[in-house]
Amino acid sequence: MLRSFLTWLLVLGSFSLCFGEESGEESKAKFPIGYPWSSWGDITETPVGHQETGFKIDGYAEQGVDWFKLDKMDWIFNTFIGIRGTGSSRKSDYWNNRVGPWAGLKFKKTFDLGGDNSATLSLGTRWEYYRYLSSAAPVRNDNRVTFFLEWGFDGDWKKKNNKGQ
């Protein structure tokens, strides 16, 4: 598997790399080109009367480094570290009672959807380690590698609708 991954990186390396330079400009290279971060979280409560009532909190924070851009393709190579935690009042749901770090790498690309709207697509791999906090868990720790395809959308409906004014 490591040999396949290294071969894949060598093939990508055959593309010319653009280390943060704007296309068509004679500016100095910026390396790295960015330090993106992201986070999310939610708190939910299942109302009384349902089969699985209870409270749950879930959250994630990530800090990354955008190292370079593949020239003419606009894909950015990013490495990142993060932490995720989930807590639930239902101790029997051990998968909802865990905390642990992540680390990984990904290629990501942002697509302009017009107006003030965009979409981001990421393809990568990450190492995940979880410490289960519930005594109901069949194991205390979980250590794994995950391959992923992520997407997301963002924008501003008001700016899009008032564009012509």
pLDDT of 161 reads 52
Query: Using CA of residue 116, residue 121, residue 125, residue 129, what is the dihedral sign?
Result: positive
Tens-place pLDDT, residues 145-155 = 999 999 998 88
The answer to whether 132 and 140 have CB atoms below 8 angstroms apart is yes
pLDDT of 54 reads 83
83, pLDDT greater than 70 = yes
Please tell me which residue, 96 or 120, carries the higher pLDDT value.
120
Question: Rounded mean pLDDT of 108-117?
Answer: 89
| Residue carrying the six token digits 């490495």 | 79
3-state DSSP assignment of residue 152? strand
Letter string b/e over residues 59-85, b meaning 16 or more CB atoms within 10 A of that residue's CB: eeebebebbbbbeeeebbbbebebebb
Query: 31: pLDDT confidence band, cut at 50, 70 and 90?
Result: confident
In whole angstroms, what is the distance from residue 79 CA to residue 17 CA? Answer: 16
pLDDT of 14 reads 35
Of all helices (H) and strands (E), which one includes residue 112? strand 98-112
Query: 156: pLDDT confidence band, cut at 50, 70 and 90?
Result: confident
pTM above 0.85, yes or no: no
The answer to whether 128 and 144 have CB atoms below 8 angstroms apart is yes
Which residues, 6+ apart, have CB-to-CB distance to 138 below 8 Å? 94
pLDDT of 22 reads 47
In whole angstroms, what is the distance from residue 164 CA to residue 128 CA? Answer: 47
Tens-place pLDDT, residues 39-59 = 999 999 887 776 777 888 999
Q: How high is the mean pLDDT of the chain? A: 80
pLDDT of 29 reads 60
In whole angstroms, what is the distance from residue 40 CA to residue 77 CA? Answer: 22
pLDDT of 114 reads 83
160, pLDDT greater than 70 = no
Inter-CA distances, 94 with 66, 101, 126, Å: 35, 17, 22
pLDDT of 17 reads 44
